[in-house]
Homo-oligomer: A and B are copies of this chain.
Amino acid sequence: MSPEPSTENPALAAGIDFGGTSVKIGVCQGDTLVAKGDPIPTDNYKSAEDLIDAMVDQIQALCDAHPGVATVGAGVPGFVDFKRGFVHDLTNVPTWVNVPFAHILTEKTGLAAVVDNDANCMAYAEWRYGSAAGRENVIALTLGTGIGGGLILDGKLYRGSQFGAGEIGQMSIDYRGKAGEYGNTGAAEKYVGNAQIEEHAILKYANLGIAKSREECTPKAIAQAAQAGDEIARQIWGDVANWLGTVVSSIVWLLNPDAIVIGGGVSRAGKLLFDPLEKKLTSMLSPVFWENLEILPAKFGNDAGIIGSAALARDASVEGDAANTEK
């Protein structure tokens, strides 16, 4: 069912990685980022229309410099109707409500456009060209402020009935636990999100009589402390692995995937996180589920969004189901 992990000379495609603070645009050929524009700060633009115009200018400049681009893909941090290329709303960008993004992109650039959730684009990049290339069933997680998730099932992106699938951060790890964004008890990202790791670390040190600032307790700082031999810091990663392993094991029991790909800022802790995570997963799964499962660090870092959205747009146009192919 899987397409070939790579193709000879795949067509050029533009990719838009729409982040909470800036929009990054590039032109890709397969897994290669051929060119990249300057990041466009979202705060500089008062309306969705103005921001789209800035994106369109950059896309046109990139297309002029790299002839042959026929499609554009966008990964956005929020709730999208993939079929219509329509943005319902974006978590951290209040002006983006009910925007027919793909339609506008096509109208203004002449390119066939696809719009998807950013976690889906990351998952697609990792499955199409990255750590999990060629696997049939893949769960991709991005660990940062929250947990983003994208699912490749039976060799294709699974999006769910309202294109909302993959909300791993909202899954519960404790029926009596901390409330998530929707009052949902035990929401996983209320344990392993950036801010929650910081708070947990501050508290853990404080309980031992050690006062630590928030800056000393960022995931990055805790990773550095652990690498420098701080046993408490190492334990904090064990706690994170315990929470994360609980939600990941639930996903594995439900979906029996080949691979879990983990990316995002928090995952940069590397072995500090991955080693106790693997241990936790072994303790939570039966041999059949565990022995056939790979736990993989993501291949693509900051460029995953551009590469994935560009690949999605190109593949959709090849398969004839691009969201918006009229010009």
Binding site for B on A (CB under 8 A): 79, 88, 136-137, 149, 151, 153-154, 156, 158-168, 170-177, 181-186, 242-243, 246-247, 249-251, 253-258, 283-286, 288-289, 292
Contacts and interface: CB of A to CB of B under 8 A. Distances in A.
A161 B283 contact: no
Nearest to A182: B286
A243 B176 CA distance: 10
A78 to B, nearest CB: 11
Given A158-B153, A161-B292, A186-B246, A172 B257 contact: no
A258 B161 CA distance: 6
Contacts of A184: 249, 253, 283-285
The 5 closest A-B CB pairs, nearest first, are: A160-B256, A171-B250, A164-B256, A175-B246, A167-B253
- Looking at A79, A165, A183, the one whose CB has the most chain B CB atoms below 10 A away is A165
Contact of A161 (B159, B165, B174, B256): B256
A177 B156 CA distance: 34
Contact of A173 (B79, B162, B174): B174
A173 B171 contact: no
